[in-house]
Amino acid sequence: MEKKMFHECVDRIDVPEDDVVKAIQAGVRKGSRMKPKRRPLFKTAAVSAAAAALFISSGFMFPSMASVMAEIPILAKLYEHDKVAENLSSQQLITELNEKAAFAGIDVTVTEAYYDGAIIGVTFDVKGEVKGNEDEIYAFYEIFDRDHNIEETMELVKLVPDGDGYKGHIQLSSPRAELPAETTLPFNIIGIGEISDNWKDEQGKWNFDVPISQLPFETIALDQATELGQHKIAFEKLIKGTSSMAIEYTLSYPEGSQKVRFDLSDGNGKQLIGGTSDAKLEKKIENGTVTEKRRITIPFVPSSDFIEVRLELESGEELEPVRIGL
Whether residue 50 has pLDDT greater than 50: no
Residue 78 has pLDDT above 70, yes or no: no
Q: Which CATH number fits domain 218-325: 2.60.40.1640, 3.20.20.70, 3.40.50.880, 3.30.450.40?
A: 2.60.40.1640
CATH superfamily, region 5-35+52-213: bacillus anthracis domain (2.60.40.1630)
Distance CA 242, CA 244 (A): 6
Give, as one character, the DSSP assignment of residue 246: E
% of the chain residues with pLDDT over 90: 30
- All CATH 2.60.40.1630 domain ranges in the chain, comma separated: 5-35+52-213
pLDDT band at 181 (very low <50, low <70, confident <90, very high): low
Listed in sequence order, the DSSP H helices in 15-112 are 17-32, 74-79, 83-90
Where in the chain do CATH 2.60.40.1640 domains reside? 218-325
The three-state secondary structure class of 62 is coil
Q: Which residue has the higher pLDDT, 75 or 227?
A: 227
Which pLDDT does position 179 carry in this prediction? 65
Averaged pLDDT, 162-172 = 89
**What's the pTM value of the predicted model, to 2 decimals?**
0.67
Q: Phi and psi at residue 112, in whole multiples of 5°?
A: -145, 155
Mean pLDDT of 223-233: 93
Taking alpha carbons only, the member of 278, 248, 250, 247 closest to residue 262 is: 278
Q: Around Cβ 52, how many Cβ atoms within 10 Å?
A: 26
112 in Cβ contact with 99 (< 8 Å): no
Question: What per-residue confidence (pLDDT) applies to 25?
Answer: 47
- 67-72: long-range contacts, CB 8 A cutoff, minimum separation 24: 68/135, 68/160, 68/161
Q: What is the mean pLDDT of the chain?
A: 75
The predicted-structure confidence for 187-212, as pLDDT tens digits, reads as follows 999 999 988 888 888 899 999 999 98
pLDDT in tens, 142-156: 887 776 656 567 788
